[in-house]
Amino acid sequence: MQTKKLKIELKTKSPFRIGGKRDPFSKADQPIAKIGNKIIVQGTSLKGALRHEIEKYLIENYKDTEWMKPCIPSSSKLISNDEQELINKGKYKGESCSYSRENDYICPVCYFLGAQGLVGYVITPFLNADVVPSDLYSIRVDRAKGIAAKGSNREYQIIPEGIKFEGVMIVLLKDNIKDWELGKPRPLKESTLGDKWLYNSRIKSHDIIQEFIRDRLENIEVLGGLKSSGAGKVKIKTS
């Protein structure tokens, strides 16, 4: 198996917060996500942001190519009316990609990040930082009295600006057992149409990593919670 490692450095450009499970021994109502004593950005959060950037890139740059349309990562029963309208307008192909769905194709996003019943080419890492979070408070104002509402004072944790998170992303280049190679359609045996977008493609692995992974990661500008309050601005570099 051949892989490529991409070092990811995320630097906070504003106060930053990704929430975690409440610790019964912590005084914070809304703690920061951590593993042990390490403050983290969960792989799922980074993967979700990367997925959004790849989807947006495909819609903006490959809107006239049928096989390049991204899916909406949800079952048809859970797709909202607004999401259905995006499908009707041709922005998305439909519900989440599935390896076992007859005559369906795997969209480029799911090719990299995985579809139902089928792994992808990218392993998204957790990002770690050596930092102590700051404690802040929030209140709700009683609209009638113009003062803090009773019992609304809550404490939450947040990361300051200028903190670096680091991790290593693994990209599969070639799997000789499965006969998979990045940039080429996989020899899938089910009734799926497979990686239709790569049929007759001459794209090289280093080009596909640059276009769909590196550039999209580095295009992520906001991540985490409290974005409407000005938090979550980030700068990502890969090497």
- For residue 21, what pLDDT is reported? 54
- For residue 24, what pLDDT is reported? 46
Quote the pTM value. Answer: 0.87
Q: How many domains does the chain have?
A: 1
Within a domain: 84: no
Within a domain: 83: no
Q: Show the domain range for 201.
A: 2-68+98-238
Within a domain: 190: yes
CA distance 163 to 141: 32
Q: Are 182 and 205 in contact, with CB atoms under 8 Å apart?
A: yes
Within a domain: 81: no
pLDDT tens figures, 153-164: 667 688 889 999
Within a domain: 74: no
Distance from chain centroid for Cα 138: 28
Q: For residue 61, give Cα distances in angstroms to 96, 182, 217.
A: 21, 21, 17
Segments in 14-147 forming alpha helices (H): 43-61, 81-88, 108-113
- Largest distance between two CA atoms of the chain: 70
Within a domain: 87: no
Within a domain: 89: no
- For 153, other C-beta atoms within 10 Å of its C-beta total 12
Which residues of the chain have a pLDDT value below 50?
24-25
CA distance 170 to 173: 9
Within a domain: 62: yes
**DSSP state string for 148-211:** EPTT--EEEEEBPTT-EEEEEEEEEEEETTTTEETTS-----SSS-BSGGGTT----HHHHHII
